[in-house]
Structure formats: structure tokens, C-alpha cells
Amino acid sequence: MYRYLASRLAGMLAVLAIVAVIVFVLTRAASGDPISVLLGDQATAEDIARVQKDYGLDKPLPVQFAYWVREVLQGNLGQSIFLQRPVTQALWERAEPTTLLALMAVGLAALIGIPCGIVSAVYRGRAVDQVFTGVAMLGASIPSFWFGIVLIQLFAVSLGWFPASGYGAPGAPLAERLHALVLPASVLGILNSALIIRFTRASMLDVLGEDYVRTARSKGLPESSVVLKHALRNALVPIVTVLGLTVALMIGGAVVTETVFGLPGVGNLVVNAVLRRDYPVIQGALLVIAAIYVLINFSIDLLYVAVDPRVKL
């Protein structure tokens, strides 16, 4: 088991290192020069050289990379060129709406997706299965911004139940902020439930074919107990994995929905940074977002070891 853990840890560190290289290369390969953007057209060559030196941009690339990694390991992601504050602070300010949005959305997706997936698997091939499978396919075909606009028109503009955009006034109570997240979380939750339906169905079908399920049936247990107690418990393991990874992917991946609803989230921060060529922010945000995904992925692997005795090799 320790050997398994060690190999997983080594793999994770390798992935993190490659992520760092990708992020560094991406932001350095950028065609637009952040210094000239920052200084404007009137900057002289000396001005540019001076600022380049300030930011360490006059050194060879591997040296810059080493500097950068050393700073990152000390928790310093650099200074945003436009926001005039550390990138870590900018990210931290955006963390709350994005995290709450991701948790609400994945909760809703699980609430819809798991029951529908179970029903689909139990009644495989029947009408209800075909309807759910079709709906799941439909959910994966709807653009999130379009669905967001439709929900805004219905529930914000026409009915006025929820705000059309924003995240409450600054310093608004938690209830108001959560209220503002209902529509965006519905968009992401409903669309992502498609994935959860398909996953739950596939996972349940796998488990329902196993011998121990037949045993449970043959000893006369009621079908509901066989499905919900015996089968679902094992089927849940891969489903929980998907749910965890979906939360991770929504940190930054919810950028379109955040934009439609004017939420000051992490994805929104990155898009604005891209539009302004604020490279320290792009670099820092991409690194943190990918690192969160890798770490959540790794924690799920650890959970497997804790939960599933078969993994203890």
C-alpha cells in the first residue's frame, strides 16, 4: 500500500511540475508585451528596460522560471499589473462566490443526477430510461450562457424572483449572496446533472451485474433494499469521484456562467486579466486552478485507499 501511495505521490508531483512549466511557457509565449501595455505608447526604450529589470524580464527564460518557482513555493504569485495588489489577494477576494457557486451547483447536479441515474439503470431500456438518457444528452448540448440568458429572462426579468446579475451589495448578508447564486447555480447544476445521470447509470449497471447483488436478491431481500443499500453503496464510489472533480473543474471553469450573471468570481478574474493582458494574474490563477484540480484528484485517490479494501495492494 505504501508503494502505491508513493507512486501516486510521485505522479502527482510530476503533474504539478508539468503544470508549472505549461503555465510559465504559456504566459511567456504571449504575443502582446505586458510592459508596453502597462507603460503606454509614450514610453522610451530606457523606461521599458528599467521596468523589465524590475520585473526580472531581462534574464534568460530558465532563470526566470527558477525565480518564479521559488517565489511560488513561498506563496508569492506576484503583483497584478492592473489591480495594484498581490495576485494571491486578488484570487482570495474572488474565491468565495466561485466556491459557493461550485458547491451549490454540484449539490444540485447530484440531487437531480443520482436519482435519475438509478432509475435509468434499474429500468434499463424502458421508456423512462430512454427519456432520462435523452434528457442527459440534451443537457450536454445546451450552451451555459444561453441557458443563463433564458433563466434570467424568466426568473429575473419577468418574475423578479432573483437578481439578474451581481453578488449582492458589498458586505451584504450571506442570505442575500446565496440568493444571488440561485440562478447561476441552477444553470451549472442542471447542465452538469447530465453528466451525473450518465455516470450513475453506467456505475449502477456495472454493480447490478455483480454476484453479490444476485446473492442479495436470492436471499429474498426486497428490491428497494438490494438497489439502494447493496448496489448503490458500491456504485457511489466512482460517482463521488466525478462530483469531486466537477467541483474542482468549476473553479475557473464556470467562467461563462460567472460572466453571464456578473459574478465577481475566479473565472471572471481570469477573463478580465486576459482582456487586459495582466500576465501575473493569468499565470497565478491558471497555476492555482490547475493545482487545486490535481490536489483534489489526489485526495480522491487517497480516499479510495481508505474506503475500498481492494485498493490496498
- Give the 3-state secondary structure of residue 79: strand
Q: Is 253 in the site for another protein (CB under 8 A)?
A: yes
Residue 116-135 contact track with another protein, rule CB under 8 A, x = bound: --------------x-----
Segment 187-226, which members bind another protein (CB under 8 A)? 198, 202, 205-206, 209
The answer to whether 18 contacts another protein (rule: CB under 8 A) is: yes
**Minimum separation from the CB atom of position 46 to another protein (A):** 28
166 lies in the site for another protein, by CB under 8 A: no
At 180, the amino acid letter reads: A
Per residue in 91-101, is it b (16+ CB within 10 Å) or e — as a string? beebeebbebb
Residue 7 or 215: which CB sits closer to another protein?
A: 7
When asked if residue 103 is in the footprint of another protein (CB under 8 A), the reply is no
Task: List CB contacts of 182: < 8 A, sequence separation 6 or more.
Answer: 104, 162
State yes or no: residue 271 binds another protein (CB under 8 A): yes
Q: Where are the alpha helices (DSSP H) in the chain?
A: 2-28, 34-39, 45-54, 61-73, 87-122, 127-139, 144-151, 174-208, 211-218, 223-225, 232-253, 255-260, 266-276, 279-307
249: contact with another protein by CB under 8 A = yes
Would you count residue 162 as binding another protein (CB under 8 A)? no
Q: Given the rule CB under 8 A, which of 59-67, 82-90, 174-182, 287-295 is the region that contacts another protein?
A: 287-295
Report d(CA 19, CA 25) in Å as an integer. 10
- Rounded to 5°, angle at Cα 19 from 76 and 278: 50
Q: Which residues bind another protein (CB under 8 A)?
A: 11, 14-16, 18-19, 22, 26-27, 29-31, 130, 137-138, 140-146, 149-150, 152-153, 157, 198, 202, 205-206, 209, 249-253, 255-256, 259, 267, 270-271, 274-275, 277, 282, 286, 289-291, 293-294, 297
